[in-house]
């Protein structure tokens, strides 16, 4: 009898021990640059193509659910796959390790920014990064728009959202709610407006059998049960209310720490469309209403967020750190501790719901398909997000190119860096991290020279 040779791709994948998965999620937390698109691409390459821990069909099924949720979809996808492989503890480990390295790095960078932001070298680096951020946000607007604005109706929603926030300064939650209602009502009469919009096309590549394959039945813990759902919601309620109660009892409702917890709870539930979509809302609250940081500091924070691993929404840690530090919330002798506590508070209340959505909803998603009445409002929200991000791009452009206002001159050096970054991103499709590094070097040279 002739032995048939079996290729590596045809060999079944052995079960993955928990600690092996732990080491992968830890590594991912340190290499997850490039925003959600880059992070999802890395996970696909590692988990689907190389390790074959999950099939492409199951990977995309999980991703489609995460794309419909408020919050950082790449971090939620990691949580979903970790949960599917190793139960609740696996999901928590995957989600936490996706965020924790970024939090620690941003706390360190925030402290360096506060202490040494005016040092010529550091100032020069930020001088170059900020114009690059302008190009990056415009690129994000184009990328999201080209993917989501599939017809005239969705273009109209995007235009109305831009007008609402640019000319009338309407709150971001009002725009989101209005877009959702418009999408739901329109889908009743014109369902074709929403068919196919925003869906991920499946790659037909065959990477071989996976540990969690197309036909692998959901494990016991991945089967929906009301008992499990109630348990998750009760635990989630305790994890949200307990720290909130501690803050209220120790500082009072009007204290900045308590308001940070409440504000970023709302932000966590409104981040449809990713970090760029919620940044205008964060700006409105953190800069305009609470005054936790200045407009310039907000742009610097986004520059830091773009240049560190982890989800871009981690810029909220910078906001929390500066809010605690600038307002001297724990006294003049504990400014660093005040900043750290602010960063931890906003990170906790921002990301808690990402875990809840996955641990509570994933068992249901494993056994059901998306319905139009659910996807249409989200598709409409995504279209509105394009208009909101365009407003954000114009806002950043103004503060970078006219740092002292229209009456105080135009920054031609910043414009030069922004144009070069724009060309690199749009024409040469250079990765974001490389654009940031090159812009930082360019800014350092110009700042030292000028």
In this prediction, residue 320 has a pLDDT band, given cuts at 50, 70 and 90, of: very high
More confident residue, 142 or 258: 258
At residue 115, the pLDDT reads: 86
Compare 398 and 202 and report the one with higher pLDDT.
398
Q: How confident is the model at residue 63 (pLDDT cuts 50, 70, 90)?
A: confident
Question: Does a structural domain hold residue 81?
Answer: no
So what's the pLDDT on residue 201? Answer: 42
Is 128 inside any structural domain? Answer: yes
Q: How many domains does the chain have?
A: 1
Give the rounded percent of residues in the chain with a pLDDT score beyond 70. 90
> What is the pLDDT at residue 319?
96
- Its sign, for the CA torsion 383, 384, 385, 389, is positive
The number of angstroms, rounded, from the C-alpha of 405 to the middle of its chain's C-alpha atoms is: 30
Least confident of 25-29, 356-360, 395-399, 412-416: 395-399
Please report whether residue 7 resides in a domain.
no
Write the pLDDT tens digit of every residue in 76-132: 999 999 999 999 999 999 999 999 999 999 999 899 889 887 667 777 887 888 888
57-66, 173-182, 233-242, range with the lowest pLDDT: 57-66
pLDDT of residue 200: 43
pLDDT at 348: 97
* 22 lies in some domain: no
Greater model confidence, 399 or 92: 92
Q: What pLDDT sits at residue 391?
A: 87
Residue 326, domain member (yes or no): yes
pLDDT > 50? residue 250: yes
Provide the pLDDT confidence category of residue 1 given band limits of 50, 70 and 90. Answer: very low
User: Which span out of 112-116, 166-170, 262-266 was modeled with the highest average pLDDT?
Assistant: 262-266
With a cut of 50, say whether residue 286 has pLDDT above it: yes
What is the average pLDDT across 256-262?
Answer: 97
Residues 164-185, mean pLDDT to the nearest whole number: 88
> Lowest-confidence range among 112-121, 196-205, 231-240, 318-327?
196-205
Minimum mean pLDDT range among 248-257, 275-284, 427-436: 275-284
Q: Is residue 77 part of a domain?
A: no
Asked if the model's pLDDT at residue 5 lies above 70, the reply is no
Tell me if 257 is assigned to some domain: yes
Its domain, for residue 170, covers 99-198+222-449
pLDDT band at 360 (very low <50, low <70, confident <90, very high): very high
Residue 157 lies in a domain: yes
Residue 4 has pLDDT above 60, yes or no: no
| Residue 94 or residue 365, greater confidence | 94
Question: Among 29-38, 50-59, 173-182, 408-417, which is the least confidently predicted range?
Answer: 29-38
The percent of residues above 90 in pLDDT, for the chain, comes to 44
- Which is more confidently placed, 392 or 262? 262
């Amino acid at each position: 009898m002739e032995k048939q040779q079996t290729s590596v791709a045809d060999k079944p994948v052995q079960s993955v021990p928990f600690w092996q998965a732990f080491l992968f999620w830890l590594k991912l937390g340190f290499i997850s640059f490039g925003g959600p698109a880059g992070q999802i691409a890395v996970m696909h390459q590692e988990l689907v193509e190389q390790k074959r821990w999950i099939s492409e069909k199951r990977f995309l099924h999980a991703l489609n659910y995460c794309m419909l949720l408020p919050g950082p979809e790449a971090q939620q996808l990691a949580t979903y796959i970790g949960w599917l492989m190793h139960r609740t503890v696996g999901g928590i480990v995957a989600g936490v390790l996706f965020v924790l390295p970024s939090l620690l790095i941003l706390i360190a960078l925030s402290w360096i920014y506060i202490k040494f932001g005016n040092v010529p070298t550091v100032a020069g680096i930020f001088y170059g990064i900020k114009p690059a951020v302008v190009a990056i946000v415009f690129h994000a607007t184009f990328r999201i728009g080209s993917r989501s604005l599939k017809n005239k109706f969705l273009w109209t929603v995007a235009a109305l959202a831009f007008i609402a926030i640019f000319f009338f300064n309407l709150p971001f939650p009002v725009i989101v709610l209005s877009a959702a209602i418009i999408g739901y009502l329109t889908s009743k009469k014109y369902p074709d407006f929403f068919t196919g919009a925003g869906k991920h096309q499946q790659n037909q590549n065959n990477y071989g059998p996976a540990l969690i394959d197309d036909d692998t039945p959901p494990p016991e813990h991945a089967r929906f049960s009301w008992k499990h759902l109630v348990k998750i919601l009760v635990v989630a309620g305790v994890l949200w209310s307990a720290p909130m109660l501690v803050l209220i009892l120790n500082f009072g409702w009007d204290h900045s720490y308590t308001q940070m917890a409440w504000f970023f709870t709302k932000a966590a539930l409104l981040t449809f469309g990713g970090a760029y979509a919620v940044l205008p809302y964060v700006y409105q609250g953190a800069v305009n209403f609470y005054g936790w940081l200045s407009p310039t500091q907000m742009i610097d924070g986004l520059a830091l967020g773009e240049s560190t691993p982890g989800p871009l929404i981690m810029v909220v840690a910078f906001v929390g750190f500066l809010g605690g530090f600038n307002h001297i919330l724990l006294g003049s002798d504990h400014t660093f501790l005040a900043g750290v506590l602010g960063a931890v508070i906003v990170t906790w209340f921002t990301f808690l719901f990402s875990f809840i959505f996955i641990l509570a909803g994933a068992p249901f998603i494993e056994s059901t398909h998306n319905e139009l009445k659910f996807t249409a409002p989200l598709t409409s929200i995504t279209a509105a997000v394009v208009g909101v991000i365009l407003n954000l791009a114009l806002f950043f452009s103004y503060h970078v190119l006219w740092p002292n206002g229209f009456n105080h001159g135009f920054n031609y050096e910043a414009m030069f860096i922004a144009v070069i970054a724009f060309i690199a991103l749009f024409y040469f499709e250079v990765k974001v991290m490389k654009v940031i590094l090159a812009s930082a070097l360019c800014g350092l040279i110009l700042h030292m020279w000028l």
